[in-house]
Amino acid sequence: KIRKLSFFSLILFVFLRKIKSLSFKGGALSYQRKNNAIIIDDEEDVCETLKLYLENMKLFSSIVVSRDGMDATQKLINQRFSVIVLDLKIPKKNGLEILSNISKKGSTNKNFTSSVIISSGNLGKDVLNKALKVGVKHFLVKPFDEEQFKQKVEAVLKAIK
């Protein structure tokens, strides 16, 4: 009986591990959700820094970088992201256009605006109102430090649970 139970437990563990990220901590099974993030910014150094910040958090199984609005729109339509870091001034389609298009067309992420962090150097009243209108709740004004970024990311992850 013990051998059958152990074998069954092992099979169940392997099956569940394929579906979700599971680990043993202190002898107990714990669950950690696999989070995916996308950074949408045309500045290479900003993308590298934000990717490093996300990697340091050790909460993401995948971090995607997109450097223009057209590419970002396709990725947002086709993939699900827990965190979307979006600059407003990017080539081919600006951040507000991306938000508007995805809101209209839909995406694999039902309430994707809950996952958005707008990261911009100039958040004027008009821009802020447009972003709030489509449902964005998280904003970071450049420049910001790793701790401020981490707090926003954690707020997004908490909001989408």
Average pLDDT per consecutive 10 residues, the chain (161 residues; last block may be shorter):
56 58 45 81 97 96 96 92 95 92 64 88 89 92 96 94 81
Question: Which pLDDT belongs to residue 20?
Answer: 47
Question: The pTM is what?
Answer: 0.78
Question: Which pLDDT belongs to residue 104?
Answer: 72
Question: Which pLDDT belongs to residue 33?
Answer: 53
Question: Which pLDDT belongs to residue 156?
Answer: 95
Q: What's at 64, amino acid-wise?
A: V
64 contacts: CB under 8 Å, gap ≥ 6:
36, 37, 38, 39, 75, 79, 81
